[in-house]
Structure 1
Amino acid sequence: MEQARREQAEFAVSPVIATILLLAITVLLAGGVYMMMSGTVSAPDKGVPVANANVRALDNGYQVVTITDMSQQVETFRIKFQVVPPLSSNGTLVSGHTSDSNVYGISGANVSFHDRDAGFTVNRGDYFVINAAAVGSDEGGWVFRMLYDGGGGRSSGEIMSVTLPATN
C-alpha cells in the first residue's frame, strides 16, 4: 500500500509548479480579454475635431455650408469661421465665432450660424448661411474655413475647409 502511494506522489504536480501554471493561464486570459476590449473602449478624443461639409449656392445670392459629418460635437464658443478671398481678389477676410451675438441664429447677417438642435454645440446638421453679395464671395473661389480654438491644453487647428461656388 505504501508503494502505491509513492507511485502516486511521484506523478503528482508540485504546488509551486501548479501555482506558476495557474498564474500563466490567468495572464494569458487577461491578455485575451484586453485585446478583445481594447477596440471597444477608447479614451476621449482631445485632438482637433474633423468635419465634412456640403456647400451650395442658392438662387437668392446666399451660400449655404452644411456640416454633413463631424467627429465630435463642440461648444459654439470654441469654433471660429473664416471666409477667405482668393489671392487674386481685393476682397476682405470675414471672420468670427459661431457664438457671436451677430452670428448665432441671426437671419440676414453677412455670415450666420444655425444650430439645428439648439444645444449651443456645433455638430452634424448645423449650417452656415453666407450673404455672398454683402461679403463679396458671389463670384466664387472664396474659401470657407472652420477652425477649432482648443483651450485647457487642447490642440487648435482647422476642422474643415470648402471652396464656395459662384452665385451668379
Structure 2
Amino acid sequence: YSYSSSSTQFSMCIFLPDADDGLRSLLDAIASRPGFLHEHLPAHKVDVGEFKVPRFKLSFHDSVVGVLNKLGLRLPFSEAADLSDMTEDDRSGLPLILSEVVHIAVIEVNEEGTRAAAVTMCLMEEGCAARPRQPPPVVDFVSDHPFAYFIVDEGTGAVVFAGHALDPSTQ
C-alpha cells in the first residue's frame, strides 16, 4: 500500500513468512539485524495478481516506564528530577517528577485504506535500477497466516508503525 499526506509519502509493508508458523523466526531476524527491514523492501515495482489482506484493527496501550528505565532514563522519575523549566512555577517549592509514561497506538486496515494513530502521555506529579528486458512475473499475495506489517516514511525510511497479526482469519 502507498499513502501520502501533504508533505510525506508513507508505505505499508507486509512481511508474510513462507511457513504458516514462520512469524516468530521472521520477527527474530528483523530484531537481530538492524538493516533487515530495509534490505528486504522491494527496490522496484512488483506486479501483484491476487492480493488479499484481511481487515484488521489492532490497538496497544501500556506504560513504557520500565522500558525507559532499562534504557537508563531514571532521573525524571526520581525526587532528584528538576522539570521546573517545563512548567510554570506553582510556588510550592516541591519538585516536579515524572510519574508515568503511557504509549497508545491504534491501526485499522480495511477496504478504504489504513488509519493509524499514536500518542505518548506523560503524567507528572509533585514530589535507480535498469528495466528488465522481459516483464517481471506477477506475484500473488494472500496473507492467510500470521504476518508482520510496517508503515514506513518513504522520504526518511523511518518506521512509524510496526505490528503483527497472529490470526488473520479472525480479523
The higher relative CO (CA closer than 8 Å, separation ≥ 6) is in 2
Q: What's the TM-score, normalizing by structure 1?
A: 0.27
Counting strand residues as a fraction of each chain, which structure ranks higher?
2
Highest Rg: 1 or 2? 1
Counting helix residues as a fraction of each chain, which structure ranks higher?
1
